[in-house]
Amino acid sequence: MIEFKNIKKSFGDKVVLDDVSHVMETGKANLIIGQSGSGKTVLQKCLVGLFEPNAGEIIYDGISFTDMGIEERKELRQQIGMLFQGSALFDSMTVEQNIMFPLDMFTTNSFPEKLKRVNEVLERVNLQEVNKKFPAQLSGGMKKRVGIARAVVLNPKYLFCDEPNSGLDPQTSMVIDHLILELTREFNMTTVINTHDMNSVMEMGENIIYLYEGKKEWAGNKKDIIFSKNKLLNDFIFASEFLQDAKDMRMLEAKGKISDDRDMDELLK
Amino acid sequence: MLFFNHFGRYLMMLKGMFTRPENMRMYWKELMHQCVEIGIGSLGIVIIISVFMGAVSAVQTSYQLVSPLIPASTIAQIVRDTVILEFAPTVVCIVLAGVIGSKIASELGNMRVSEQIDALEIMGINTKSFLIMPKIVACLLTIPMLVVISMVLGILGGRIAGVATGILSADTYDMGLLMNFVPYNVIFALVKAYTFAFIISTIPSYYGYYVKGGALEIGRSSTKSVVVSCVMILFADYILAALLLNE
């Protein structure tokens, strides 16, 4: 569980995060959603310590991250995996070397043991015969999967994903979403995902916070979103007419005005 | 004010490198990799520059020594001293500032903008220590060696050109090389080489590590790092000459 209280962050005069508090739950996909520039990435970078918040406290499973020294943070970070927006794979290394890197750095395992673990995680993310390929030879979706494999190779307790679907087609996005969700449940991780992809929100949103201009505007889960009366959230989530219609349909369905096995031909009449 | 801002951050970067390595074996591997990249990677250009530098200085010195009272062996002495004192350490290091400096700045800059440095930080690795320290140590190890190689090849280049153009015989050249040789000059050249190696590695590391933006900014910071390194080399060259050669 990751709890953050009253996080404030500004760059010069620009306030990017203003008094943001929430609890990210273990074993769930915790989503941070919001428009571009709403402070999602800054919040995530504050949580992992890449940015230092101006005020507020971050607590990892009861231990204050804010009060930790450099060495303690380094130790905690070995329990953190992160998938970056652009995958952040090391260009000069092969897929195998990329995934083996954390094992080389933090374990004393023999090469065959490390290779076995690399192949295990590659298999887990459904990638085969890519060990000797370089990141430049992979597609966007494959890079993301290698990024996930590298993030989970040390069995982390916390997984952070910054826009895992950016630049991917809807189908590949869904595959990545399912993979993150499965891994979260399988390893009982606390997963924090930044996204503004609505498919992801409706697919994975077990615990969602919506940021608007650096403030926490709304919190809930994917079911709550449908019935939310928050105008800012509705304008953001159901931006298109199509999605607005879909929402109305869901609401009518929930109120029993349309049956689940509705006859579309009948409705179209 | 901006200068102090940069200088303060530069010093903080250097201070940040000194922490306990997470895994000594990986740091050693990275150091060896950098030694090969920097040392072996620059050997070709150093060989070419040194040979031609020595050759040209022999020919030009002979052109300027028109008096029949000056013995031909003086050409060898002048070539030897200019190569050892200035050409090998300073000119070669200015070239290396371009070759190695731009490589370091663009490599680190690319890692910064593509979030590879953030990825390493998240893993719990001190990136200043893991990425910058091996580059500095590799420069300190290999650049003085390259300078020594340059000295030898520069003098050899002068000999080849002198003999090939008929300016002086090989024996006269060799005799000139041994006349009034001051071993302290080599020590002075090595002091310069170590100082310049530090400049060549740290300034581009600073510009690359703290780059912000995209491909355009990487290019700009790479160019800036080379310019600043060259200016600092020339400045340090003067300071060292004033401090160590003034009797």
pLDDT digits (tens, 9 = 90+) for B110-149: 999 999 999 999 898 999 999 999 999 999 999 999 999 9
The arithmetic mean of pLDDT across residues A162-180, rounded, is 86
Q: Give the pLDDT mean for A239-250.
A: 74
Q: How far apart are CA A238 and CA A246, in angstroms?
A: 9
Taking the alpha carbons of B83, B35, B41, B115 in that order, is the dihedral positive or negative? negative
pLDDT, tens digit (0-9, with 9 covering 90-100), for B190-238: 999 999 999 999 999 999 999 998 899 999 999 999 999 999 999 999 9
The pLDDT value given to residue A231: 86
At A122, the pLDDT band (50, 70, 90 cuts) reads: very high
- Among A105, A107, A108, the strongest candidate for a mutation testing the B interface, having the largest count of B CBs within 10 A, is A105
Tens-digit pLDDT profile for residues A123-168: 988 888 899 999 999 998 899 999 999 999 999 999 999 988 888 8
Partner residue facing A102 (CB), from B114, B123, B126: B123
Contact B124 A48 (CB under 8 A): no
Question: What is the H or E stretch that residue B82 is in?
Answer: helix B73-82
Closest-CA distance of chain A to residue B113, Å? 9
Determine whether the interchain pair B124/A74 forms a contact, defined as Cβ–Cβ distance below 8 Å.
yes
Token pair of A266, please? 């009948």
Contact B114 A160 (CB under 8 A): no
Q: Is the pLDDT of residue A110 over 90?
A: yes
For chain B, list residues whose CB is within 8 angstroms of any CB belonging to chain A: 19, 22-23, 26, 110, 114-116, 118-119, 121-126
CB pairs under 8 A between A and B: 57
Report the gap between the CA of A104 and the closest CA in chain B (Å): 7
Residue in chain B nearest A90 by alpha carbon: B116
Torsion sign over Cα A34, A36, A39, A43 = positive
The CA-atom distances, in angstroms, between A136 and each of A32, A94, A110 are 30, 10, 28
pLDDT digits (tens, 9 = 90+) for B31-83: 999 999 999 999 999 999 999 999 999 999 999 987 888 898 999 999 999 99
Predicted pLDDT at A238? 79
Q: Measure CB to CB from residue A50 to each of B22, B118, B125 and give the nearest one.
A: B118
First to last CA, chain A: 50
Residue of A145, A96, A97, A141 whose CA lies nearest to A125: A145
**Position A118 pLDDT exceeds 80:** yes
DSSP bridge partners of A102:
none
Question: What distance in Å separates the CA atoms of residue A170 and residue B165, rounded to the nearest whole number?
Answer: 73
Alpha helices in chain A, H assignment, sequence order: 40-48, 70-77, 95-106, 111-124, 140-152, 170-186, 198-204, 222-227, 231-237, 241-254, 264-268
Alpha-carbon distance A74 to nearest alpha carbon in chain B (angstroms): 4
Per-residue pLDDT, A248: 75
DSSP helix/strand/coil, A256: coil
Looking at the partner chain, which of A77, A88, A89 has a beta carbon nearest the beta carbon of B124? Answer: A77
Over chain B, what is the mean pLDDT?
Answer: 94
| B22/A50 Cβ within 8 A | no
Q: How far is the C-alpha of A58 from the C-alpha of A66, rounded, in Å?
A: 6
Of B10, B4, B3, which Cα lies nearest the Cα of B132?
B10
Residues of B in contact with A84 (CB under 8 A): 115, 118-119
* The two structure tokens encoding residue B12: 């903080």
The pLDDT, as a whole number, for residue A258 is 66
Residues A232-243 have a mean pLDDT of: 80
Q: Looking at the DSSP assignment, which residues form a beta bridge with residue A192?
A: A30, A160
The model's confidence at residue A56, banded by pLDDT at 50, 70 and 90, is very high
| Span B160-197, pLDDT tens digits | 999 999 999 999 999 999 999 999 999 999 999 999 99
Angle at B189 between CA B185 and CA B190, to 5 degrees: 120
Examine the pLDDT at B245 and tell me if it is beyond 90.
Answer: no
Q: What residues of B are in contact with residue A135 (Cβ under 8 Å)?
A: none
What domains lie within chain A, and their CATH numbers?
Answer: 1-79+156-232 (3.40.50.300), 94-155 (no CATH), 238-269 (no CATH)
Q: Write down the pLDDT at residue A200.
A: 84
Cα nearest neighbour of B117 on chain A: A88
Residues B191-213: b if buried by 16+ CB within 10 A, e if exposed = ebbebbbbbbbbbbbbbbbebee
pLDDT in the model for residue A125:
87
Interface contact flag, B19 A70, Cβ < 8 Å? yes
Cβ-proximal residues to B194 (8 Å cutoff; 6+ apart), any chain: B140, B143, B144
Q: Which residues of A touch B119 (CB under 8 A)?
A: 82, 84, 88, 90
Smallest Cβ–Cβ distance between B123 and the set A70, A77, A160 belongs to A77
The ipTM assigned to this model is 0.83
Say yes or no for a CB contact (<8 Å) between A78 and B123: yes
Residues of chain B contacting residue A78, judged by C-beta atoms under 8 Å apart: 123-124
Q: What is d(CA A117, CA B186) in angstroms, rounded to the nearest whole number?
A: 53
Geometric angle at alpha carbon A155, from A153 and A161, rounded to 5°: 75
**For residue A78, is pLDDT > 90?**
no
Q: Do B22 and A74 touch (CB under 8 A)?
A: yes
- Report the distance separating Cα B78 and Cα B54, nearest Å: 10
List CB contacts (< 8 A) between A85 and chain B. Answer: 115
| pLDDT surpasses 90 at A93 | yes
A29-34 vs A190-195, strand pairing mode: parallel
Residue A59 has pLDDT above 90, yes or no: yes
